[in-house]
Chains A and B, each alone.
Chain A
């Protein structure tokens, strides 16, 4: 394997603690990741695994009123942020990052036209005048395959379908010409046929522009179809990482194995999907040992006391005491 180029986005030892109605939750516990230019990274995990929170922290978009503590460092290109709490509460971190969200219909402002929302973005990012911005907006809408851009511009979000709104979101994000696009469950709120269209669109745009993409999803199919590499998250940490082929063909972490066993296979009707017994550990407590041990079928004594490290080496790795070379 050739030497990897310098990462465009690099996250080190990210910790996030958030206020919830149940108390302070340790949502992200020591996440590190690197993203190469032009690479597509998938992050999978169930609800509450901290995948969205981690990326919102990277963007600097956590709700300041809910944050108890954020620690770690983020490097985008040649700029670094070591004190992650030190962001102006009203703006996001870097011009080189853009993000699209789950439910595009609510992620767009209901009382402004699409035109106003795209134009204000282009003005803020590129300092374009109104006319230029409008012309550029039409180009962008064409690029996301919106059939009648003129009409779309004068519409309000509630007049568009969910799929259309997500296309508008993508157009807006792409209009910022980011080096990294973070897509947080971009297809979750859409129906299946539209999901496929949106995924294809994101994938095409990513290839054409050469930007990097982080795609967050609980849907293994989505990740498999679009990502180069995948990180599996559980209880606020990355438990397995590797190329999509490696991880999906030969999952190493028992959680990943269980996750894959949950999916139905069209080619094997006999294999019924198996749910993972148990639930996520209580995220309010500091977890000593492996967070998955209570649900793990192959648990070892050491799992209760010491947290397995995720190998820093590139390539396929899992944070599990059963891994070869993970001897205590």
Chain B
């Protein structure tokens, strides 16, 4: 975490002078100097850095130039929108990917498998902006059954959720297929068949539980990526999420917002990884994570 915090700080300082963006074009030299002083940019780098770290430790990332509010507040607001979208998309992706990946494995090299895996390849390679625009065109403009963009009602979730989840689901389905196939070749599956277990028990306890670890890993990482903001999708649908916020903040050299967003994202990744490790242990008793 400290590494992330420091790198963000240094990179941002290299990116140019924020005051030149904040200050009105006709600002006098005195005004600029005053602004610089107000935000502490007149201090040497190490002083800025010490203040910055001290602030973070107290949960204070400074004030946004752009919004005049504490940066952390702005980030958390946007994070809510991103999180709900990411969670919806991930849930849909899992619901789609697990059964389809499993079916594909079961009917390996049969027509169903080829169709599903071709679709998965398509889902994987289709750029989200294209998919998003196509969806808007069909469902919002032609059929008029979903809003084109923005956020607010439940209906606003549909198109962006589908857009994000299709790519994720495609990836997960391919993963599920290969893991299930690998598990099917294991000797204990033959034992389970010899025991004449009910189909359901065979699939859940024996196949899926053993195939789960790599699937959970990929799902977790993708969830993390979604949480840091799906910039393209957010832009296409005008979704007020973290991705667009950061993009905007970088453009305006809104240091404190970028710093806050990156730190929160890093924190999310750390928490998520810990959660995935915890899930590993639940799934496989042979794994002991300290």
Binding site for B on A (CB under 8 A): 56, 59, 61, 63, 65, 90-92, 95, 98-99, 101-103, 106-113, 116, 120-121, 124-125, 156, 158, 169, 172-173, 176
Contact = CB atoms under 8 A, between A and B. Distances in A.
B286 A120 contact: no
Contact of B196 (A91, A108, A169): A91
Contacts of A65: 108-109, 184
Interface of B: 108-109, 184-188, 190-199, 201-202, 205-206, 209-210, 283-286
The 10 closest A-B pairs by CB, nearest first: A109-B188, A106-B187, A107-B187, A156-B285, A121-B195, A107-B191, A99-B194, A92-B194, A124-B197, A91-B196
Tell me whether chain A's interface is mostly helix, strand or loop, or mixed: loop
Contacts of B202: 90
A98 B285 CA distance: 28
Given A110-B285, A124-B196, 8 more contacts: A56-B190, A59-B194, A63-B185, A90-B202, A106-B188, A107-B190, A109-B188, A109-B192
B209 A112 contact: yes
B188 A61 contact: no
B234 to A, nearest CB: 38
B56 to A, nearest CB: 41
Contact of B210 (A61, A107, A109, A121): A109
B205 A109 contact: yes
A98 B196 CA distance: 10
Given A111-B209, A111-B285, A116-B205, A124 B198 contact: yes
29 contacts: A63-B184, A63-B185, A63-B190, A65-B108, A91-B193, A91-B199, A92-B194, A92-B195, A92-B196, A101-B190, A103-B187, A106-B186, A106-B188, A107-B187, A109-B191, A109-B205, A110-B210, A110-B284, A110-B286, A111-B210, A113-B285, A116-B205, A120-B197, A121-B195, A124-B196, A124-B198, A125-B195, A172-B195, A173-B194
Nearest to B189: A109
Contacts of A63: 184-185, 190
B289 to A, nearest CB: 15
B198 A61 contact: no
A95 B191 contact: no
A92 B188 contact: no
Contacts of B283: 111
A101 B191 contact: yes
